[in-house]
A and B are shown apart, each in its own frame.
Chain A
């Protein structure tokens, strides 16, 4: 059974950097799957942030591309999200998820972690 677990600070100051890590168990991030970050502001819908793949990527949402970096640490079976210059609009629950190829569906998700941007 694949499991994903997000970790990182729950509070970030405005203009600061949001950094989260997703630890994967039950699968290798070197597999033929894409690893993704999705966020959900409180009470709102889902926003795709970006994805990374052992053999390619990363791909980013154009709306966030200037501020976001997704990377992999294969030795730890983890992938990470960094979002710079955050504002209150970046307050959200952040999920990591696994994209199953070739059907392109998110079949496993982390439980999500709330990140609040506030001074």
Chain B
């Protein structure tokens, strides 16, 4: 099975800050990497698919990059509604595993 390792596990930042979250796969996954945002009591919502493609309706301040085993999610300028938990997920081979999550908190 492919293991996904996210860092950091938590992050404190302010509105307007630029933040980066990283995700590393235990083996090659090409660009089959997705990023989701989850708010308390809600289902995850997709932000980025195929490593760098912005899902419909997602603000352009979200950017994904990477290929192979190393990936990043960058939020260029934090808005108040961005404080949430973020998960990466590989969809290269089943079981489609998730990272452990990064909780983004207000500083």
Q: Could you tell me which A residues sit within 8 Å of B by CB distance?
A: 36, 45-48, 50-51, 59-63, 95, 97, 99-100, 103-107, 109-112
* Chain A residues in 8 Å Cβ range of B97: 48
Contact B91 A46 (CB under 8 A): no
List the 8 closest A-B pairs by CB distance, nearest first: A104-B91, A105-B49, A109-B43, A46-B98, A61-B95, A48-B95, A45-B100, A59-B94
Smallest distance from the beta carbon of B51 to chain A beta carbons, Å? 10
* Chain B residues in 8 Å Cβ range of A103: 49-50, 53
| A48 touches which of B45, B92, B98 (Cβ 8 Å) | B98
How far apart are the CA atoms of A118 and B49 in the complex, in Å? 38
Contact B95 A105 (CB under 8 A): no
Smallest distance from the beta carbon of B80 to chain A beta carbons, Å? 23
Known: A45-B87, A60-B95, A62-B1. 12 other contacts (CB 8 A): A45-B100, A47-B98, A50-B95, A51-B94, A99-B91, A103-B50, A104-B49, A106-B34, A106-B36, A106-B44, A107-B46, A109-B45
* Chain B residues in 8 Å Cβ range of A105: 34, 46, 49-50, 55, 91
How far apart are the CA atoms of A111 and B89 in the complex, in Å? 19
* Chain A residues in 8 Å Cβ range of B45: 109
| A106 touches which of B46, B94, B95 (Cβ 8 Å) | B46
Q: Which residue of B lies closest to A65 (CB)?
A: B95
Contact A45 B98 (CB under 8 A): yes
* Chain B residues in 8 Å Cβ range of A104: 32, 34, 49, 91-92, 96
How far apart are the CA atoms of A106 and B35 in the complex, in Å? 10
